Every structure is written in structure tokens, then in C-alpha cells.
């Protein structure tokens, strides 16, 4: 299936299952801001069809970069990373998945990052929704502190509220599958 067809179906799923709108700002975002728009991508990223679409779309974006692994801050990044990891295996390559914890593990080795990764590996950070960029920046800095080389950031949705610009202060390769404007334009059609 063509990437444009996959993206069109993913947009439809997001608008059906993950998007909410109100006339007044009633949705409190992770950043603390209030908004009229809310994207809860978990119903899509954790669904079989959503994982298939996301895995195919993002694998297609990153395969030529030959990353060793893909991951980000739990929980938003986890199903995205797992989808790409599985897709890579099915396509005969190997992109491992990893998770960046919000807090270090309280026992054992007290790790911030879980997964079969090691210092020096090239990784891609993923996120479901970027607003201010705070979660993504936390994932980037934790990965870098662990000795990983962050080569790209991909988000499903850029809310276009300054997050992209903040992330670009840390890494120069940022890509969104959709922007809020693109999804809202589709919603109006």
C-alpha cells in the first residue's frame, strides 16, 4: 500500500478515535496549558490497525537512516516504537525499541532507559503528540546522557504550539506525520 494511502487512513483513525474539540479551552494538556483541542493518540497507537499504519509509515521514513533503535518517553512513545520495531523485523532489518522512563528505576540498576541498546548506538526519538516539546526534550537528553546518538525526532502530531522550535534547539532533524492544521483541515472537509 502507498504511504499516502496509509497516511490518509491514519488521519481518519486519529480524527475518529483521538481528537476532541470544544468551543472553549476545557482540555488541560500535559504542559499545564488549557486548549480547545485535544489529541489522545493511545486509542490509535495501541490498536492493531493503528500500529500497522504507524509501523509502516515511520519505518518508511527512517529505514534509509539505518538507526539501531527507536524509542522515547513512556507512555506515548512506547507503542510507536514497538510498531516500528516489529515492522523492521518483518521487512528483514532490525530496529530495536527502547523506553525512556519518567523516573529512574527504583531498584536493581536504577536505569532511566530500558531495552537492548548500548552506548554509541544511533537512535530515533518518537512521540505521539508534541505541544511544548518538554517530553521529547527529556527523552533526547536522557538518551544522550546514556551515550546514544540521537539522529532524528518523529512525532505523530505537532500541535504547532512551539514544541518543534524547542526541539530544534537540541536536534536538527524533526519531522511530524501530521500537524494540527493538517488534521483540522481534514476534519472540516
**CA angle centred on 159, ends 85 and 137, rounded to 5°:** 60
**What does the pLDDT look like over 119-160, one tens digit per residue?**
999 999 999 999 999 999 999 999 999 999 999 999 999 999
Q: What percent of the chain has pLDDT over 70?
A: 97
User: Do 115 and 96 contact (CB within 8 A), yes or no?
Assistant: yes
Spatial CA neighbour of 37 closest among 60, 21, 51: 21
**Domains plus CATH for the chain?**
47-179 (3.40.50.2020)
Spatial CA neighbour of 125 closest among 90, 146, 92, 100: 100
Least confident of 22-36, 52-66, 70-84: 22-36
Set of cell numbers at residue 85: 520495531
Measured distance CA(79)–CA(97) in Å, rounded: 10
Q: Beta strands 113-115 and 27-28: pairing type?
A: unpaired
Mean pLDDT of the chain: 95
Which residue in the block uniquely carries the three cell numbers 472553549? 24
**What does the pLDDT look like over 172-189, one tens digit per residue?**
999 999 999 999 999 887
The per-residue pLDDT for 107 is: 67
Reported confidence tier of residue 104, pLDDT bands at 50, 70, 90: confident
Measured distance CA(159)–CA(157) in Å, rounded: 6
Amino acid at each position: 500500500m502507498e504511504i499516502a494511502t496509509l497516511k490518509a487512513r491514519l488521519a481518519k483513525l486519529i480524527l475518529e478515535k483521538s481528537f476532541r474539540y470544544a468551543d472553549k479551552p476545557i482540555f488541560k494538556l500535559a504542559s499545564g496549558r488549557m486548549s480547545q483541542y485535544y489529541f489522545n493518540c493511545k486509542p490509535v497507537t495501541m490498536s492493531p490497525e493503528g500500529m500497522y499504519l504507524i509501523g509502516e509509515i515511520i519505518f518508511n521514513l527512517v529505514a534509509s537512516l539505518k538507526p539501531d533503535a527507536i524509542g522515547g518517553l513512556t507512555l506515548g512513545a512506547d507503542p510507536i516504537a514497538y510498531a516500528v520495531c516489529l515492522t523492521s523485523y518483518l521487512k528483514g532489518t532490525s530496529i530495536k525499541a527502547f523506553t525512556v522512563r519518567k523516573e529512574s528505576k527504583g531498584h536493581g540498576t536504577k536505569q532511566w532507559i530500558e531495552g537492548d541498546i548500548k552506548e554509541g548506538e544511533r537512535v530515533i526519538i518518537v512521540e505521539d503528540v508534541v505541544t511544548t516539546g518538554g517530553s521529547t526534550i527529556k527523552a533526547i537528553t536522557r538518551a544522550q546522557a546514556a551515550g546514544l546518538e540521537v539522529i532524528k525526532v518523529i512525532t505523530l502530531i505537532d500541535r504547532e504550539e512551539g514544541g518543534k522550535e524547542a526541539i530544534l534547539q537540541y536536534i536538527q532533524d524533526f519531522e511530524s506525520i501530521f500537524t494540527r492544521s493538517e488534521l483540522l483541515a481534514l476534519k472540516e472537509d
